[in-house]
């Protein structure tokens, strides 16, 4: 059966070029880069090359500002915990109600350890109020941690303005860039973010590798304690194959960002507009203009999202109802609830997230098969309008 994959905010296919670049390090070139012998030690240049590629994609000033990690969650945890350990007298963190669980659940844990957390609200389009951010800062604030773009709606936050606010108050700013990196341009030499997290499997690298950008001069205390790897900033033998893969994925992403903002955006818009026009009682969740070019979150009133996904899956269409890291929960999306989306739409909201491997034929396939599914489910829904 044909598979149409539109769940790329959950994970992406490993690019063929990435896979080919990784293979030598899973077979013949398996040495430990920390070894004294040439068989292992010569591999270190591949780590350096990958670090340069990540830095180049981010527009960073120095490749040494990049620390390799195992995933976006580790990068987020490292950024937050490092800052708290570097400023032990400060016990206040500012974040938002719509963060990824990697940040939200850590903040909930920190509340039990005596930290005070401010969760900024969002409006019905998923945007924060910068005045609320300004008024939340006090002398006890250690860190502002706000995602660059939301994983469920694709809404892009005003990180430049947030960075200006943080800098004016001499505060550390961390941004979870997992969904944004590789989809929109970055130039960290001009954007005064102190810490930025990325995850390889969101940009066609393998699962199990990520990175953390740490601006030169930012106080940093290692989160994962061990050996001397990553300049003593992150212990553990390097995952060479995946690091090499991430480097190649970053080089590919830099070449295809224009495509993300044109061809992929046009596909997304055609999918979205066709569904909104041809299926009654639907709505777009999020800010229509200020969002990632690949993401569309559409609410279908009076239907359960799980039922939609199951019937789409029968047709070979892979989408999602929100974050893959919360899909095991029966609770409605915390992002959509924070936005104040009517409950009749929240339960039936589906996220479509495209990649450069999607085609116009994929969009045609979805828009032909989804309307009959919605009609059928509404016909049997106990919540349908009279």
Point out the residues that are catalytic: 325
Closest CA to 204 of 256, 253, 255, 150: 253
Terminal alpha carbon distance of the chain:
37
- Nearest to 360, CA basis, from 244, 268, 232, 294: 268
* Helix (H), strand (E) at residue 304: none
Of 154, 145, 171, which is closest to residue 76 (Cα–Cα)? 145
With CA atoms as reference, report the closest residue to 23 among 240, 238, 208, 211.
240
Other CB atoms within 10 Å distance of the CB of residue 328: 6
Burial track 197-217 (b if 16+ CB lie within 10 A, e otherwise): bbbbbbbbbbebbbbbbbbee
Q: Are the beta carbons of 127 and 290 closer than 8 angstroms? A: yes
What is d(CA 181, CA 250) in angstroms, rounded to the nearest whole number? Answer: 9
């Amino acid at each position: 059966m044909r598979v149409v994959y539109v769940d790329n905010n959950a994970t992406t296919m490993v690019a063929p070029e990435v896979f080919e670049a990784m293979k030598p390090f899973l077979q013949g070139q398996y040495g430990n880069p920390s070894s004294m012998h040439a068989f292992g030690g010569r591999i270190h240049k591949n780590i350096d090359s990958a670090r340069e590629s990540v830095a180049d994609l981010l527009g960073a000033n120095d490749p040494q500002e990049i620390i390799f990690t195992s995933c976006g969650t580790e990068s987020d945890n490292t950024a937050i915990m490092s800052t708290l350990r570097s400023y032990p007298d400060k016990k206040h963190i500012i974040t938002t109600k719509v963060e990824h669980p990697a940040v939200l659940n850590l903040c909930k844990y920190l509340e039990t350890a005596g930290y005070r957390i401010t969760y900024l609200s969002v409006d019905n389009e998923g945007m924060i109020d910068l005045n609320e951010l300004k008024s939340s800062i006090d002398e006890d604030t250690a860190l502002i941690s706000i995602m660059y773009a939301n994983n469920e709606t694709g809404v892009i936050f005003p990180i430049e303005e947030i960075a200006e606010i943080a800098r004016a108050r001499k505060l550390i700013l961390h941004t979870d860039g997992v969904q944004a990196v590789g989809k929109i341009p970055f130039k960290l030499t001009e954007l005064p973010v102190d810490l930025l997290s990325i995850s390889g499997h969101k940009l066609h690298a393998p699962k199990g590798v990520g990175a953390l950008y740490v601006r030169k001069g930012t106080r940093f205390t290692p989160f994962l304690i061990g050996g001397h790897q990553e300049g003593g900033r992150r212990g553990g033998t390097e995952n060479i194959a995946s690091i090499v893969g991430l480097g190649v994925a970053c080089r590919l992403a830099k070449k295809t960002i224009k495509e993300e903002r044109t061809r992929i955006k046009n596909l997304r818009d055609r999918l979205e507009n066709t569904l909104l026009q041809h299926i009654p009682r639907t709505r777009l969740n999020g800010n229509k203009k200020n969002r990632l070019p690949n993401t569309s979150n559409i609410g279908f009133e009076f239907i359960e999202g799980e039922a939609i996904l199951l019937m789409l899956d029968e047709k070979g269409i892979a989408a999602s109802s929100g974050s893959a890291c919360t899909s095991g929960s029966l609770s409605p999306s915390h992002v959509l609830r924070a936005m104040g989306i009517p409950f009749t739409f929240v339960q039936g909201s589906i996220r479509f997230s495209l990649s450069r491997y999607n085609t116009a034929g994929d969009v045609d396939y979805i828009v032909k098969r989804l309307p009959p599914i919605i009609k059928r489910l509404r016909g049997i829904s106990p919540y349908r309008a009279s």
